[in-house]
């Protein structure tokens, strides 16, 4: 069934944050979404999911209602209070009207009761993504570093920073996975579409140039090198 799911995105991969504490279900969702053309970031507790969502980089949030630490509706409520408008869909075994109303009142955009069909889930995610105009993100932030994915603009400490297209895409990728190690292979695959040699120093040159623009002039070290693997962006902005 997973191999026959409808494709969620025909062009640019839709970035989905998945928060589900049931490991097997989380794995199935990740597989289905990946086969449906998405990129996913999976979390098994509410605290980690909220932290990732705060740093942005996602087109849709797929949240289980009952999560350890912070429940799905509370994650949405917190994000909405902070100004984040990324579309959110709640998954839950609760089927009562009051539960559905409670989830929507918290700021969720849609609700799907368990058990559900994967095709219906993907259809709902497509609809949320379309209604949001392709992105519900106001801005991705790490401390005073701000990236506007719609206007493709970057600022630090209130000052505009001019980046090349490649530099912007690398920064967007690192911000979207803030706090996580992003491998050189992932950067190659997502920014260059694999159209360069991993053995070359092309990625390192671009990251060095990016640092010279967003870090050094401001006395920061937000982009950290993880030797032999790739790079990590400090969620606090360095």
Closest alpha carbon to 25 in 1, 4, 44, 46: 44
Length of the chain: 238
Q: Tell me, what's the pLDDT at 138?
A: 44
Q: Are 91 and 67 in contact (CB under 8 A)?
A: no
Q: Which CATH class is domain 7-131?
A: alpha beta
Q: pLDDT grade, residue 17 (50/70/90)?
A: very high
Residue 21, exposed/middle/buried by CB under 10 A (0-12, 13-18, 19+)?
middle
pTM above 0.95, yes or no: no
Cα gap 155→35, rounded to integer Å: 35
| Extents of the domains making up the chain | 7-131, 140-233
Cα gap 48→123, rounded to integer Å: 26
The CA R_g of the chain, rounded to the nearest whole Å, is: 18
Closest alpha carbon to 207 in 174, 236, 180, 162: 174
- Matching fold, domains 7-131 and 140-233: no
Q: Which CATH class is domain 140-233?
A: mainly alpha
What would the mean pLDDT of 135-164 be, rounded to a whole number? 78
Largest CA distance in the chain: 57
The string of pLDDT tens digits covering residues 195-226 is: 555 566 788 889 999 999 999 999 999 999 99
The two tokens of residue 121 are 């889930």
């Amino acid at each position: 069934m997973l191999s026959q799911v409808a494709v969620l995105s025909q062009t640019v991969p839709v970035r989905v944050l998945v928060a589900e504490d049931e490991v097997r279900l989380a794995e199935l969702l990740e597989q289905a979404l990946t086969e449906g053309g998405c990129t996913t970031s999976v979390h098994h507790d509410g605290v980690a999911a909220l932290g990732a969502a705060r740093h942005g980089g996602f087109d849709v949030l797929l949240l289980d209602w009952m999560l350890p630490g912070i429940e799905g509706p509370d994650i949405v409520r917190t994000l909405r209070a902070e100004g984040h408008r990324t579309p959110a869909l709640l998954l839950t075994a609760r089927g009562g009207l009051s539960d559905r109303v409670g989830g929507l009142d918290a700021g969720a955009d849609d609700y799907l009761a368990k058990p559900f069909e994967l095709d219906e889930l993907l259809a709902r995610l497509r609809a949320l993504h379309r209604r949001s105009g392709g992105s519900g993100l106001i801005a991705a932030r790490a401390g005073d570093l701000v990236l506007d994915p719609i206007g493709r603009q970057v600022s630090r400490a209130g000052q505009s920073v001019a980046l090349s297209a490649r530099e912007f895409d690398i920064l967007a990728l690192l911000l979207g996975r803030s706090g996580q190690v992003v491998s050189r292979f992932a950067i190659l695959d997502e920014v260059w579409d694999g159209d360069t040699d991993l053995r070359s120093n092309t990625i390192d040159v671009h990251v060095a140039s990016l640092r010279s623009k967003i870090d050094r002039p401001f006395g920061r070290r937000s982009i950290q090198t993880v030797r032999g693997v790739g790079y990590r962006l400090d969620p606090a902005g360095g």
